[in-house]
Amino acid sequence: MTFTAAPPLAGSIAVPGDKSISHRSLMLSALAVGESRIEGLLEGEDVLATAAAMRAMGADIGRDDGGIWHVHGVGVGGLLQPQTALEMGNSGTSTRLLMGLIASHAITATFTGDASLSKRPMARVTEPLSRMGASFTASPGERLPLTMRGLCPAVPLDYRLPVASAQVKSAILLAGLNAPGVTRIVEPIPTRDHSERMLRGFGAELNVETQSDGTRIITLRGEAELRPQSIMVPGDPSSAAFPIVAALLVPGSRITIMNVGLNATRAGLIELLRAMGGDILIENPREVGGEPVGDLIVGASSLKGIEPDPALAPSMIDEYPVAFIAAALAEGRSVFRGLEELRVKESDRLTTMAEGLRAIGVTVEELEDGVVIEGSGGALLAGGGPIATKLDHRIAMSFAVAGLVSRSGVTIDDMRPVATSFPGFTALLRSLGAMA
Ligand SMILES: O=C(O)C1=C[C@@H](OP(=O)(O)O)[C@@H](O)[C@H](O)C1
Ligand SMILES: C=C(OP(=O)(O)O)C(=O)O
């Protein structure tokens, strides 16, 4: 598919539900006794993989004609032995969080995934979960396919996170839910806190203490009883990132994006783009279902190159690919560092982005832990392709945005991965006036 230079983007849109919150809504609802109700669930392939796995372990999950999801849970400790392998597709979050859930149940499960997921490291979760008593037989390099056996009762863990990862933190918390006693996690660099908020919302006894240096200490009392909830999932800021950058870059644009999640642990991209000179207004700030939300008004802007603080990384980890596109149109050089984690996402996002940017005429240097990008100062990019997306939805959507500010268009080799996190992406861009 080819995305070509767009006229000014205009209109009001909403993006699909938050992927991180959607996964957690299904998992926690499946552990509550009684019926939970989820509105705004992301119906992307990654979340549907989580739904299928929770069904395979005993939860009753359905969707009504109004698009509301209803989950009848089995109770903490009540998950059943799945009869077939759990097929995780492209989804790292499903895989790692479900490993945590299973770790404290006496069940055996096999995890499989697509070619991208099968390359991603799992030691970061199998190591702490082994200390809680689970056992793993993984493919070489501690990768999928992998079979695990949980232990009940599991051993509660006291653990300092060696990597800034909400997936690792959440896997341990989910395992701790069914372990007798207190699970304690020391998080030196804060990451998205949806698990903590939602666990508390479901009635778990969870405490967070923030120390003067920013380290968070999270304690969770196990053998919790979760109460069913009615959940409203806000729009995904990681999906909103694409129309935000598109509207900043396409001259003359002005758009509104309604109901975007603005949790501070996720809002790093907005901070970065504003520091580059981006015109982004937040209207109607409010709280929905325990999460801060607002409407964004984004106007075309002349951006300046930047050297962002690497400490921003966890709060915009999935947004770097599209931030690199913004940098490619900015005035001057941008230097991004401290991003080694991008090498273990759906693709190696530093290499994939550097190769793709070069293919469309951008001067870019790849570093061990980042990239240096020379901006065009607002001039259209040359364009080209086909861009190799390597089963990575965020690469596909980032280069689609680049196509809207290119002379000859940008061709994407495969748009199918977009369905993992952002069904309707191309139609939504078209509704704003973009050309695809
Ligand atoms: O917990 C989550 O929902 C996620 C955490 C992040 O991964 P890491 O924990 O590996 O950084 C992020 O990249 C992913 O898209 C979703
Ligand atoms: C890294 C991502 O997801 P996951 O780890 O769930 O595959 C992402 O959505 O960018």
Does the beta carbon of 166 lie inside 6 Å of ligand 1?
yes
143 is in an annotated binding site: no
Average pLDDT over every residue of 160-167: 98
Q: Is the ipTM of this complex over 0.85?
A: yes
Which atom belonging to ligand 2 lies closest to the Cα atom of 394?
Answer: 10
Same domain, yes or no, for 117 and 90?
Answer: yes
Q: If you average pLDDT over every residue of the chain, what do you get?
A: 98
Tell me which of 178, 210, 243 is where a domain ends. 178
The residue whose CA is least distant from atom 10 of ligand 1 is 165
Average pLDDT over every residue of 23-28: 98
Q: Computed from CA positions of residues 363, 390, 427, 15, in that sequence, does the dihedral angle turn out positive or negative?
A: negative
Same domain, yes or no, for 238 and 91?
Answer: no
Which atom belonging to ligand 2 lies closest to the Cα atom of 19?
Answer: 9
Catalytic residue numbers read: 318
Residue 205: inside a domain:
no
Q: Which residues pair with 27 in a beta bridge?
A: none
Residue 399 binned pLDDT confidence (cut-offs 50, 70, 90): very high
pLDDT at 40: 98
Report yes or no: 219 and 182 within 8 Å, Cβ to Cβ: yes
Residue 329: inside a domain:
yes
Average pLDDT over every residue of 370-376: 98
Same domain, yes or no, for 297 and 343?
Answer: yes
Q: What tens digit of pLDDT does each residue of 259-286 get?
A: 999 999 999 999 999 999 999 999 999 9
Report how far residue 352's alpha carbon sits from residue 350's, in angstroms, rounded to the nearest whole number: 6
Residue 206 binned pLDDT confidence (cut-offs 50, 70, 90): very high
Residue 37: inside a domain:
yes
Report how far residue 287's alpha carbon sits from residue 257's, in angstroms, rounded to the nearest whole number: 16
Same domain, yes or no, for 407 and 382?
Answer: yes
Residue 435 binned pLDDT confidence (cut-offs 50, 70, 90): confident
Does the beta carbon of 167 lie inside 6 Å of ligand 1?
yes
Residue 6: inside a domain:
yes
User: Does residue 436 surpass a pLDDT of 90?
Assistant: no
pLDDT at 289: 85
CATH code at position 365: 3.65.10.10
User: Does residue 343 surpass a pLDDT of 90?
Assistant: yes
64 is in an annotated binding site: no
Residue 43: inside a domain:
yes
Same domain, yes or no, for 169 and 254?
Answer: no
Residue 201: inside a domain:
no
Q: What tens digit of pLDDT does each residue of 29-75 get?
A: 999 999 999 999 999 999 999 999 999 999 999 999 999 999 999 99
Report yes or no: 187 and 165 within 8 Å, Cβ to Cβ: no
| Nearest ligand (C-alpha, residue 49) | 2
Domain with 283, as residue range(s), is 2-16+234-431
Q: Is the pTM of this model over 0.95?
A: yes
Average pLDDT over every residue of 162-179: 98
Q: How far is the CA of 91 from the centre of ligand 1 (A)?
A: 10
Does the beta carbon of 318 lie inside 6 Å of ligand 1?
yes
Does the beta carbon of 345 lie inside 6 Å of ligand 2?
yes
Report yes or no: 37 and 69 within 8 Å, Cβ to Cβ: yes
Percent of the chain with pLDDT over 90: 99
| Nearest ligand (C-alpha, residue 165) | 1
Same domain, yes or no, for 249 and 152?
Answer: no
Average pLDDT over every residue of 318-344: 98
Structure tokens at 309: 């603080």
The total domain count for the chain is 2
pLDDT at 365: 98
Which atom belonging to ligand 1 lies closest to the Cα atom of 165?
Answer: 9
58 is in an annotated binding site: no
Q: Which of 124, 172, 317 to mutate to test the pocket of ligand 1 (most atoms within 8 A of CB)?
A: 317
Neighbours of 281 (CB within 10 A): 12
Q: How far is the CA of 19 from the centre of ligand 1 (A)?
A: 10
390 is in an annotated binding site: no
User: What Å distances lie between residue 48 and 19, 60, 201, CA to CA?
Assistant: 11, 14, 23
Nearest to 217 by CA among 193, 233, 235, 251: 193
